[in-house]
Amino acid sequence: MSHFARTNAALLDASIAENATRLRRGEITAEALTAAALDRAVAVQPVLNVFIEIWRESALAQARERDREAAAGRWRGPLHGIPVAHKDCFERAGHSITVGSKVIERTRGVHTATALARLDQAGAIDLGSLNMSEMVAGPTGQNPHFGDCRNSWDPARISGGSSSGSGAAVGAGAIFGSLGSDTGGSIRLPASVNGLFGMKPTYGRVSRAGCFPRAFSLDCVGPLARSANDCAVLLQAIAGVDPRDPSSLPAPVPDFVGRLASASEGSRVAVIDVDDEYHPEIAAAFERLVKLASERYGRVPSVAFDDLATCFAMADVLSKVEAATLHGEWMRERPQDYSQAVYSRTEPGLHIPAVRYVEALNVRARVLSAFLRGPMANADVLLCPTIPVLVPTRVEADTEIPGRVFGVVATLTSLTRPFNYLGVPVLSMPMGCDGNGMPMGVQLIGRPFGEARLLAMAHALSSSLGWRAPPSARLVSILKEQHA
């Protein structure tokens, strides 16, 4: 590897904060950093299929503008000059979105999604649109229209979904962070299987204006990144009330970055009992993580929550009915343009009785209250694995095989979907690697608007764990060898 290539690899493996310091000191330029990220994006694209479009010229133009601003003394903050990219369900003025589907008409956007506009204002550079599961529906990254998105550690395995490109692109070092949307685990699943930190914020914490929905009662927008610190930087930029989104909440936005070192001090931690049986390697890694948590925060008891299965079922009702409401006309007029997996999961929503849907809405507040008075009565953070099984291969999780989709979705989302129904914040972080060399994730579940505590705890636990993702340059080298 040449000195230039080694330098670029070092930059791409560095954190947002580290590169922000270099940019501010003038040790590197935004244009050079963006060019390195674009080169990596082009290198991994044939293997991972993470991008739908790469906007090379516009990204470099943005980078040059950031360099001019820096030279003039205008510094936008820690995202100034940092390359990112996002799931292709966020509207951007002048660009068309696909939502990973053949159904969506390719018309140029008029408005930019609020979350993207806030990242723009913070100085981030958008490299392009990222691949995703069709119609923000699917936990594997499989897409028969634009091609499957593949795992950044092993392209034979799933990348997670539906924010599949977000997870794989960050994991491969093509970008430093990404936004995804999460209806039943769509941020946390890609984070888990790509060895990342992914935050589903409190429902209403981040504006969804300009983000294509799956289920408006459940959807959340949040960041994926390689560290808790980088997640905090991204969340800091996008959080806050937005008049364009009536469901966004006017809660104060704390200093997520500034509180990383202190927000988890004195926290009470518990393990939430679930009926799922974990794979033995998942169970062993989780036990090690719990031991570290007990050493740092004191005794970690187990707590029961009998309504977990109810939360999953109620979230499934809301997701199916609200998705079917959106897709009904398209499904009637253009059923052939849907994959069988997405069609078969959405169409049943047309037949769920209205009373069942209203019931799911009506009992939600009561179930959340029971959750806060029950398992969280004496805990600030609950722990459970993100996925109960090892990262499956794309063949094992092929949802286009008739009769398989419901089992695959239920298995992969059994521990993530219930918390969308509750609306509480959840962060997935790495807790080690399995015998296949693949990452395993653990969820940190908090009280409403408790994101600062979760980020701080993930920051502390990952340090105690000694978590170090393999250098992205090594991953890219392996991927290239496998593709050759």
- Taking alpha carbons only, the member of 222, 165, 221 closest to residue 198 is 222
How many Cα atoms within 13 Å fall on the side-chain side of residue 333?
6
Q: Label residue 401 left, alpha or beta by phi (over 0 means left) and psi (-120 to 50 means alpha).
A: beta
Look at residue 201 in the predicted model and tell me its pLDDT. 98
Is 58 one of the annotated active-site residues of the chain? Answer: no
Please state at what angle helix 30-48 crosses helix 16-25, rounded to 10 degrees. Answer: 150
**Per-residue 3-state assignment (H helix, E strand, C coil) for the chain:** CCHHHHHHHHHHHCCHHHHHHHHHHCCCCHHHHHHHHHHHHHHHHHHHCCEEEECHHHHHHHHHHHHHHHHCCCCCCCCCCCEEEEECCECCECCCCCCCCCCCCCCCECCCCHHHHHHHHCCCEEEEEECCCHHHCCCCCCCCCCCCCECCCCCCEECCCCCHHHHHHHHCCCCCEEEEEECCCCCHHHHHHCCCEEEECCCCCECCCCECCCCCCCCEEEEEECCHHHHHHHHHHHECCCCCCCCCCCCCCCCCCCCCCCCCCCCCEEEECCCCCCCHHHHHHHHHHHHHHHHHHCCCCEECCCCHHHHHHHHHHHHHHHHHHHHHHHHHHCHHHCCHHHHHHHHHHHCCCHHHHHHHHHCHHHHHHHHHHCCCCCCCEEEEECCCCCCCECCCCCCCCCCCHHHHHHHHHCCCHHHHHHCCCEEEEEEEECCCCCEEEEEEEECCCCHHHHHHHHHHHHHHHCCCCCCHHHHHHHHHHHHC
Is 159 one of the annotated active-site residues of the chain? Answer: no
Q: Per-residue confidence of the chain (484 residues) as pLDDT tens digits?
A: 555 556 688 899 999 999 999 999 999 999 999 999 999 999 999 999 999 999 999 999 999 999 999 999 999 999 999 999 999 999 999 999 999 999 998 878 899 999 999 999 999 999 999 999 999 999 999 999 999 999 999 999 999 999 999 999 999 999 999 999 999 999 999 999 999 999 999 999 999 999 999 999 999 999 999 999 999 999 999 999 999 999 999 999 999 999 999 999 999 999 999 877 899 999 999 999 999 999 999 999 999 999 999 999 999 999 999 999 999 999 999 999 999 999 999 999 999 999 999 999 999 999 999 999 999 999 999 999 999 999 999 999 999 998 899 999 999 999 999 999 999 999 999 999 999 999 999 999 999 999 999 999 999 999 999 998 777 656 666 656 665 5
Candidate list 152, 186, 462, 472, residue with the active-site label? 186
Alpha carbon distance 291, 293 (integer Å):
5
Look at residue 285 in the predicted model and tell me its pLDDT. 98
Contact status, residue 399 vs residue 409, Cβ threshold 8 Å = yes
Chain center to CA of 388: 18
Candidate list 129, 133, 152, 162, residue with the active-site label? 162
4 CB contacts (<8 Å, ≥6 apart)? Answer: none
Look at residue 303 in the predicted model and tell me its pLDDT. 97
How many Cα atoms within 13 Å fall on the side-chain side of residue 208?
23
Is 102 one of the annotated active-site residues of the chain? Answer: no
Contact status, residue 361 vs residue 353, Cβ threshold 8 Å = no
- The string of pLDDT tens digits covering residues 275-312 is 778 999 999 999 999 999 999 999 999 999 999 999 99
Long-range Cβ pairs for the range 57-62 (8 Å, 24+): 58/126, 59/34, 59/83, 59/125, 59/126, 59/127, 59/128, 60/31, 60/34, 60/35, 62/34, 62/125, 62/126
How many Cα atoms within 13 Å fall on the side-chain side of residue 348?
13
Alpha carbon distance 73, 347 (integer Å):
55
Look at residue 4 in the predicted model and tell me its pLDDT. 53
Task: Identify the bridge partners of residue 469 per DSSP, sorted by sequence position.
Answer: none
Place domain 3-483 in its CATH homologous superfamily.
Amidase signature (AS) domain (3.90.1300.10)
Candidate list 15, 87, 414, 462, residue with the active-site label? 87
Tokens of 464: 């105690």
- Taking alpha carbons only, the member of 223, 255, 229 closest to residue 115 is 223
Tokens of 286: 């989780």
- The string of pLDDT tens digits covering residues 129-176 is 999 999 999 999 999 999 999 999 999 999 999 999 999 999 999 999
How big is the chain by its Cα radius of gyration, in Å?
Answer: 21
- The backbone torsions φ and ψ at residue 428, rounded to the nearest 5 degrees and listed phi first, read -100, 135
